[in-house]
């Protein structure tokens, strides 16, 4: 009698419902609009929980800093009572 083994294809889509970290609703990972599909149900939950989106972070550019001046380096006097 041969033993039957059920295997899942390597590239199978996750079919179980997950719970969103922010809103606690159940969702299918394949339907999520978030970059972090296994954590958030939507882009809005990702943005609301992190304060930024992963996609926005990937496209963010560093702002050019202004050269420091002498006025920036000298501390302001502190009044002593």
CA distances from 28 to 3, 4, 25 (A): 32, 29, 10
pLDDT, tens only, 37-49: 899 999 899 888 8
Q: Distance between CA atoms of 2 and 6, rounded to whole angstroms?
A: 13
pLDDT computed for residue 49 by the predictor: 86
What H or E segment, with its residue span, contains residue 27?
strand 26-28
Q: Is the pLDDT of residue 24 over 70?
A: yes
Contact, 58 vs 36, CB < 8 A?
Answer: no
Q: How many secondary structure helices (H) and strands (E) does the chain include? A: 3, 2
pLDDT-derived band at 56 (thresholds 50, 70, 90) equals: confident
Domain boundaries, the chain: 13-55
């Amino acid at each position: 009698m041969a033993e039957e083994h059920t295997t899942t294809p390597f590239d199978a889509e996750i079919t179980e419902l997950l719970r969103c970290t922010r809103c606690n609703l159940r969702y299918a990972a394949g339907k999520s609009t978030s970059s972090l599909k296994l954590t958030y149900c939507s882009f809005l939950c990702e943005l609301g929980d992190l304060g930024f989106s992963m996609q926005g972070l990937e496209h963010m550019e560093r702002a050019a800093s202004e050269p420091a001046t002498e006025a920036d380096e000298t501390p302001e006097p502190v009044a002593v009572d």
